[in-house]
Structure 1
C-alpha cells in the first residue's frame, strides 16, 4: 500500500497552504471517498483481477 494517499494538498499537514482550510467542506468528503476506495480494494487480491 502507498504511504501517501494525499490526493489534495490539504491532506498533508506539512504541505497544506490552502487558504480555504478553515471553511472548506470538500476535505471530509474526499477523506471519506479515499477510505471507501481503500476499503473496497482491500476486499480483493491479485487472483481476483487476473484471468
Structure 2
C-alpha cells in the first residue's frame, strides 16, 4: 500500500514533469534535471568521452 501511494503521489508526477517535452510551466525538478544533464555533457566533453 505504501509503495502504491508513493508511486501515485510522487513518482508518477515527477516522471511526467521530467519527460514532458513542452510543459506548460517549468518546474524546479525539470530545471534541476536539465542542469544535471548539461553538467554531465560538459564533463564528458572535457574528458574526451563524448562523440
Structure with greater helix percent:
2
TM-score normalised by the chain length of structure 1 = 0.45
Q: TM-score, normalised by structure 2?
A: 0.45
